[in-house]
Amino acid sequence: MPIQYDEVQQLFHLQTTRTSYAFQVTKWGLLAHTYWGKSVRSDYLHRNLELRARSTVSPRPDPTEPAFSPDTMPQEFPGYGAGDFRTPAYEVMLANGTSVLDLKYRSHRIVNGKPSLVGLPATYVESEAEAQTLEIELYDSLIGLSVFLTYSVYESYNVITRSARFVLNGSEPLNLQRVLSMSIDMPHSEFDFLHLSGAHLRERAIYRRSLTPGGHTVESRRGVSGHQQNPFIALLSKGTDEDHGEVYGFSLVYSGSFFVHAEVDQFFTTRIQMGVNPFDFSWLLEPGESFQTPEAVLVFSDQGLGGMSRIYHRLYRDRLCRGAYRDKERPILINNWEATYFDFDADKLEHIAKEGSKLGMELFVLDDGWFGKRNDDNTSLGDWVVDVSKLPDGLNDLAERIARHGMKLGLWFEPEMVSPDSDLYRKHPDWCLHVPGRRRTESRSQLVLDMSRNDVVDYVVESVCNVLESAAIAYVKWDLNRNLTEIGSQVLPKERQRETAHRYMLGVYQALERITAKFPDILFESCAGGGGRFDPGMLYYMPQTWASDNSDAVSRLQIQYGTSLIYPPVTMGANVSAVPNHQIGRTSPLQTRGYVAMSGSFGYQLDLTKLSADEKSAIGEQVAFYKEIRGIVQFGDFYRLLNPFESGEAAWMFVTVDRREAVVFYFQIQAAVAGPIKRLRLKGLDERNDYFVLSGEQIEKLDEGNLYGGDYLERVGYILPALKGDYQSLIFRLMAVDEKSDY
C-alpha cells in the first residue's frame, strides 16, 4: 500500500515506486518529520528521529525530556509562539489579540483516491487506484480549531501532494494571517537552491546558488504568479546535474501571490515552506467556516534535474491538464496579431487564413481588436461585443469564411480587465479593484475587474459565453496584461479587505471552471503579458500557456529551456514570428525560428500574405514536418542535452514512451572558431536498440550508413555537421531498426 501506518511507533510511511516520505507522532502530539528521499523499508525509519539537548537557549517545555525542544525538532507543520523560533507554517490572531496555538495530533484517516479541493485547482485521479490519501487532524482544544493536513500519494507517478484545511468549530472568530500549504524540515543545508526568475520578455531563467544561514525567499506580491518569479523551487544535492544527483522539487498549484521560503537555522538544517503569500493577507474565519490552502506538489528524483522534470511533465500533462485537448494533438495556428495589430477587416483576415490553409495550418486566431471600439489599447476592454465597423456580419460570418478554407477560428479575450473608456466602466465604475479616496492606477490604460465579486464573475462568464455561443469558436486565448494595484473591494467589510487578492483568484478560478465546463471541446490557452501567469493553477483550466511575448527564437531558447524544468513542452505556446523580431529587433533564419517553435505547441504570428514564394515553400515544409513529429514532441519524454545558459549552444530531444523513435533539436547560438569536432550525446534511448539517424529529407534512406547503436549514441555521441554562422540549427530523427528489416 502507498501509505502505511505503524501503530506501535505511530509512524506514517508514504511510498511511491522510487520514494519514501515518513513522519511520526511524538508523545507531545507534534508531528516530527523523519525522512524524505529514495525508497527505504519501513522497519527502521523510526530510528531516524534523533532528539538532543543542543542549545541552552532553546525552550524545553517538558522537564522530563531535556532533549526535546520544538526549536530543534524537525517538524511537519510548525507554529510560532510555543518554543519554535523558526519561520512558522501558520499564524493566527485570536479574539483576545494573542497568536499562540497548541495544535496537536488528534486523529487520521487513510482513503483510496484523491479528494478535490473546494474552489481550487489541483491534480486529480481518474480512478481510486491511482492514488491514496492520508488526512491528519491537528486540534487546538482551547479554541476548537482543527487543521487537516492532506497528503496524497501518486505511487506510479512518484509524486506526493500536500495541502492544509483550517476548520473552526469554536465559539469565537479568529484571523488567519499565515496559512501555508506545506512545511518540511530537511536534515542539513548542503543544498543548492534553484529557482526560475526573470522579467517580461525574459521569463523563467534558471538561477542556482548555495544555501547559507538565514532566509532564501522566492515570492510574488503582484496578485498573479508573475513574470518575475515562478511558484517553484528545487533543492539540489551538491554536484547534481541534469542526469545525476538528488533533487527535491516543490511546485505550487496557484496563480496568485505566492511565497516560497528556505530557512537555514542555527544547526544548519533547512526548513522549506510554500503557499499563499502572507504579505498583505488575512482571512477572517468565523465559527463553522473553513479555509483551504492551495496544493503543493512534491517530487524527489535521484536522477538529476532531468529525472525531476520528467516526473512533473508526466503528472501535469496527464493529471493536471484537463479537457478534450489533454490527450489530443494541438493544432498548428496562425495568429494575426503581428500581421495586422488593430488594423483589419474580414477580407484581410480571410486572406491570411487562406494563405495559412494553403501551407497546411489548421487554426486561425483573431487576436485583439475585434470588440467594442478597439482600434488601440486605450479602450473597450469589458465590452465583449463585436465591432461591426470591422466585422459587419459578425463572428459567425468570419468563422464560416475561415471554415471554407478548412480552418477553425480562435479568439483572443482579456476578461479580467476593464478600460476606463468603456461602456462597462461607465455603467459600473465600482466593479474595478480600488480603494475609496485613492487614485485608480492604470497600466496599459486599463483597470482590473474585482473578480472577488459574484456579480463581476457572473458578468465575465455571461459575456464570454455569449460570444462563444455566437460562432464556431475552437480556441480561446485568455490574456491578462497587468498586475493588481489598489487591491480593495467595495463589497467587502473593512475586516475582510486583506482577503481581496485571494478572493480575486478564487473568482477567476470559478469563472474558468464554469466557462471551460460549458465548452469542453474548445482549446483554451492562458496568457498574461506573455508568460506572466505560467503556473500549474492555470494549466488546470487551460492546457497550454503562451510562454512569452518575446517570440525571438534565440531568446526563446532560454525561456523554453527554463520553463521545461517543470512544465511539459506541450503546454508551451510557441510561434514563428517575422524578422527583424518585433520585440528585440534580432534577425534569425526561418529554419531556426521554426525549429525553436516546433519544440512546443506550434504556430505562426506574421503576415503570410507578405512572404516570398521561397518563404512560403519553407513554411509549408515546416508545417508538414511538424505534423509528422507532433505526437512525439507533444506527448514524448523530454531530455535536455545542452544548456543555453551555460554556452553558445542549446539542444534537446523528445523520445516516444516505447523508446523506438526520437526527434533531436540542435541550435548553434554563436559560431565557434577552430573548435573541436562536435559530438552530441543523446539520452533516453534503448541502449540495446539500433537506430537510423535521419534528417527530414533522408526519411526514406534507410541504410547502414546512418545506423547507430543506442549505446553508441548515448556514450560516444552523434557527430554534428559543421554549421557556419550564428543562430544556425539542425534537426534529426531517430527510428529503431525493425528486426525484420533488411534496410
Q: Distance (Å, rounded) from C-alpha 522 to C-alpha 269?
A: 48
Q: Say how far residue 439 (Cα) sits from the centre of its chain.
A: 33
Q: Distance (Å, rounded) from C-alpha 374 to C-alpha 204?
A: 32
Candidates 357, 353, 462, 335; CA nearest to 399 is 353
Q: Distance (Å, rounded) from C-alpha 685 to C-alpha 734?
A: 9
Q: Distance (Å, rounded) from C-alpha 423 to C-alpha 409?
A: 27
Candidates 463, 505, 513, 461; CA nearest to 487 is 505
Is the distance from CB of 135 to CB of 150 less than 8 angstroms?
yes
Cell numbers linked to 531 = 508568460
Q: Say how far residue 56 (Cα) sits from the centre of its chain.
A: 44
Q: Say how far residue 431 (Cα) sits from the centre of its chain.
A: 29
Got the DSSP string for 306-351? HHHHHHHHHHHHHHT--STTSSSPPPPEEE-HHHHTT---HHHHHH
Place of cell 501555508: 180
| CA quadruple 469, 470, 473, 477: dihedral sign | negative
Paired strand residues for 330: none
In the 3-class helix/strand/coil scheme, how is 559-622 assigned residue by residue?
HHHHHCCCCCHHHEEEEEECCCCCCCCCCCCHHHHHHHHCCCEEEEECCHHHCCHHHHHHHHHH
| Angle between the N-to-C axes of helices 454-470 and 500-518, in degrees from 0 to 180, rounded to the nearest 10 | 30
Stretch (H or E) spanning 463: helix 454-470
Query: Is residue 318 annotated as a catalytic residue, yes or no?
Result: no
Task: Say how many C-beta atoms besides its own lie within 10 A of residue 223's C-beta.
Answer: 24
Q: Distance (Å, rounded) from C-alpha 352 to C-alpha 594?
A: 19
Residue 428: partners with Cβ closer than 8 Å, 6 or more residues away: none
Q: Distance (Å, rounded) from C-alpha 28 to C-alpha 633?
A: 52
| CA quadruple 350, 353, 355, 358: dihedral sign | negative
Is the distance from CB of 417 to CB of 381 less than 8 angstroms?
yes
723 three-state secondary structure: coil
482 three-state secondary structure: coil
Q: Distance (Å, rounded) from C-alpha 352 to C-alpha 578?
A: 14
Cell numbers linked to 433 = 479593484
Place of cell 507517478: 157
Is the distance from CB of 190 to CB of 303 less than 8 angstroms?
no
| C-alpha dist (Å) from residue 651 to 190, 640, 644, 648 | 30, 6, 8, 11
Candidates 205, 196, 200; CA nearest to 529 is 200
Query: Is residue 637 annotated as a catalytic residue, yes or no?
Result: no
In one-letter notation, the amino acid at residue 605 is Q
Catalytic residue among 84, 383, 549, 637: 549
User: Residue 119 gets which letter from DSSP?
Assistant: T
Catalytic residue among 479, 535, 552, 637: 479
Cell numbers linked to 559 = 525561456
Q: Distance (Å, rounded) from C-alpha 479 to C-alpha 384?
A: 14
Q: Distance (Å, rounded) from C-alpha 611 to C-alpha 169?
A: 68
| CA quadruple 366, 367, 371, 372: dihedral sign | negative
Got the DSSP string for 78-113? --SSSS--SPPSEEEE-TTS------EEEEEEEEES
Cell numbers linked to 687 = 541502449
Active-site annotation, residues = 479, 549
